[in-house]
């Protein structure tokens, strides 16, 4: 009898330990950053505090913009609620420290993915959300239309970014000279140009478009049809949690894939009952594991698309042709339309 009781106890202990191990495995599917976000009930996301269209505070005192919506999409994926984001305003120079100290869980702030940053920032980048390039604005009445026309002129440029170096490279490669007027911050750089202290203003084309659109009369300024560099603007997260980086990655891919399927925040309910296996798998319906493979809700994609919209909805409402920025998709079109936006398969 005693023997039987002991055996039973051993069996129960064994069973419990198996359950415990399974439990531990479940928990282990969520990395430390995701766990922190779940415990806190919000995602801390580093953004630009004042780049119209991408990251800025609107009249209602809320953060808004293309980059801001990427943060919201990740919050919807992890917490099921796109509003649960604590935005952390970051200037260009404080980006590296913010990611290294893990003061932010992630960053979505017009940041170019480069070889040296990937190596030294202790960050995981990707996927690119906006393929940009460095551009230049001049006064429309200046008659300047090419880079060669800028030979010997004065150009306003910001330090601490990829911009300053690209400008030097582009001019020296063409045997041209210029006189740089360098500022530590973006606003004074643009203001110096507006005041006539420079013949041109340069930064990412998205930034040039944002500043031009914010002018009293944008037609006074023209964006040259010249691209000086590649600026793949890309969200990033600390290298310490590769699983969280995967969540960021598969949230961005979900935005792109939803556009490819034609699934929007408006019509997603119709797709929930789709019998197409590929759609069911993507939306985590039926027997499909969906987000559980990353410790997320099975239907995390549904939360993301319903609350934030697909890639084209995000692009169009913040910076698209019908906004004051009037940006076309260009390189940011889907691969099926000749662009670079391409999601690996959700299978
Ligand atoms: N994409 C470039 C440039 C990003 C950038 O910092 N751009 C300017 C204006 S478009 C900016 O954000 N300046 C504001 C600041 O320094 O706080 C980079 O990653 O270095």
Say what the pLDDT of residue 24 is.
Answer: 34
- Cβ of residue 161 lying under 6 Å from some atom of ligand 1: yes
- Cβ of residue 205 lying under 6 Å from some atom of ligand 1: no
Say what the pLDDT of residue 260 is.
Answer: 98
What confidence category does residue 193 fall into, taking pLDDT thresholds of 50, 70 and 90?
Answer: very high
Question: Over the stretch 38-63, which tens digit does the pLDDT of each residue have?
Answer: 999 999 999 999 999 999 999 999 99
Question: Over the stretch 264-291, which tens digit does the pLDDT of each residue have?
Answer: 999 999 999 999 999 999 999 999 999 9
What confidence category does residue 162 fall into, taking pLDDT thresholds of 50, 70 and 90?
Answer: confident
Say what the pLDDT of residue 159 is.
Answer: 87
Question: Over the stretch 332-344, which tens digit does the pLDDT of each residue have?
Answer: 999 999 999 999 9
Decide which of 93 and 221 is more confident. Answer: 221
Provide mean pLDDT across the span 192-197.
98
Output the CA torsion sign for 50, 52, 54, 58: positive
Alpha carbons 328 and 316: distance in angstroms, whole number: 9
- Cβ of residue 48 lying under 6 Å from some atom of ligand 1: yes
Question: Over the stretch 293-303, which tens digit does the pLDDT of each residue have?
Answer: 999 999 999 99
Alpha carbons 255 and 234: distance in angstroms, whole number: 14
- Cβ of residue 204 lying under 6 Å from some atom of ligand 1: yes
Say what the pLDDT of residue 93 is.
Answer: 87
Decide which of 203 and 185 is more confident. Answer: 203
Helices (H) and strands (E) in the chain, counts: 13, 15
Alpha carbons 110 and 27: distance in angstroms, whole number: 33
Q: Could you tell me the distance, in angstroms and rounded to a whole number, from the CA of residue 250 to the centre of ligand 1?
A: 26
Say what the pLDDT of residue 33 is.
Answer: 98
Q: Could you tell me the distance, in angstroms and rounded to a whole number, from the CA of residue 162 to the centre of ligand 1?
A: 8
Alpha carbons 58 and 300: distance in angstroms, whole number: 28
Top mutation candidate among 131, 158, 160 for ligand 1, by most atoms within 8 Å of CB: 158
- Cβ of residue 229 lying under 6 Å from some atom of ligand 1: no
Alpha carbons 62 and 45: distance in angstroms, whole number: 14
Alpha carbons 78 and 35: distance in angstroms, whole number: 10
Instruction: Supply 263's token pair.
Output: 């699934």
Alpha carbons 203 and 133: distance in angstroms, whole number: 8
Distances 208 to 33, 254, 325 between C-alpha atoms, Å: 34, 29, 10
Can you tell me which residue has the tokens 């649960």?
A: 84
Going by alpha carbons, the residue nearest to atom 10 of ligand 1 is 207
What confidence category does residue 119 fall into, taking pLDDT thresholds of 50, 70 and 90?
Answer: very high
Distances 151 to 126, 205, 274 between C-alpha atoms, Å: 36, 20, 59
DSSP alpha helix (H) spans, 82-129: 95-100, 115-120
Say what the pLDDT of residue 145 is.
Answer: 97
Alpha carbons 317 and 322: distance in angstroms, whole number: 8
Can you tell me which residue has the tokens 């590296």?
A: 96
Say what the pLDDT of residue 4 is.
Answer: 54
What confidence category does residue 184 fall into, taking pLDDT thresholds of 50, 70 and 90?
Answer: confident
Q: What percent of the chain has pLDDT over 90?
A: 89
**Pairing relationship of beta strands 221-223 and 236-238 according to DSSP bridges:** unpaired
Distances 239 to 7, 30, 102, 120, 137 between C-alpha atoms, Å: 47, 15, 10, 11, 36
Going by alpha carbons, the residue nearest to atom 8 of ligand 1 is 186
What confidence category does residue 18 fall into, taking pLDDT thresholds of 50, 70 and 90?
Answer: very low
């Amino acid at each position: 009898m005693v023997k039987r009781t002991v055996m039973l106890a051993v069996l129960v202990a064994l069973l419990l330990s198996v359950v415990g191990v399974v439990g531990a495995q479940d928990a282990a599917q969520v990395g430390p950053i995701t766990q922190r976000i779940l415990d806190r009930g919000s995602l801390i996301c580093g953004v630009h505090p004042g780049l119209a269209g991408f990251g800025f505070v609107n009249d209602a005192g809320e953060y808004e913009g293309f980059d801001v919506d990427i943060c919201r999409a990740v919050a919807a994926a992890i917490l099921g609620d796109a509003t649960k984001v604590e935005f952390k305003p970051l200037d260009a120079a404080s980006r590296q420290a913010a990611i290294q100290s893990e003061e932010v869980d992630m960053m979505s702030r017009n940041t170019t993915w480069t070889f040296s940053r990937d190596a030294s920032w202790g960050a995981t980048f990707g996927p690119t959300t906006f393929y940009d390039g460095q551009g230049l604005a001049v006064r429309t009445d200046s008659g300047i239309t090419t880079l060669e026309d800028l030979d010997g002129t004065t150009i306003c440029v910001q330090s601490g970014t990829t911009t300053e170096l690209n400008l030097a490279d582009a001019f020296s490669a063409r045997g041209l000279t210029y006189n740089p007027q360098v500022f530590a911050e973006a606003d004074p750089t643009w203001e110096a140009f507006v005041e006539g202290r420079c013949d041109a203003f340069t930064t990412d084309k998205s930034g040039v478009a944002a500043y031009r659109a914010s002018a009293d009369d944008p037609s006074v300024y023209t964006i040259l049809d010249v691209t000086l560099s590649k600026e793949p603007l890309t969200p990033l997260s600390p290298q310490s949690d590769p699983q969280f980086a995967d969540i960021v990655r598969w949230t961005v891919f979900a935005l792109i894939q939803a556009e490819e399927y034609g699934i929007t925040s408006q019509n997603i309910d119709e797709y929930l009952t789709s019998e197409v296996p590929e759609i069911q798998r993507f939306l985590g319906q039926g027997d499909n594991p969906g987000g559980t493979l990353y410790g997320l809700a099975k239907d995390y994609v549904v939360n993301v698309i319903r609350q934030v919209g697909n890639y084209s909805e995000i692009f169009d409402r913040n910076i698209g042709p019908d906004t004051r920025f009037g940006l076309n998709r260009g390189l940011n079109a889907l691969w099926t339309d000749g662009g670079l936006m391409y999601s690996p398969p959700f299978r």
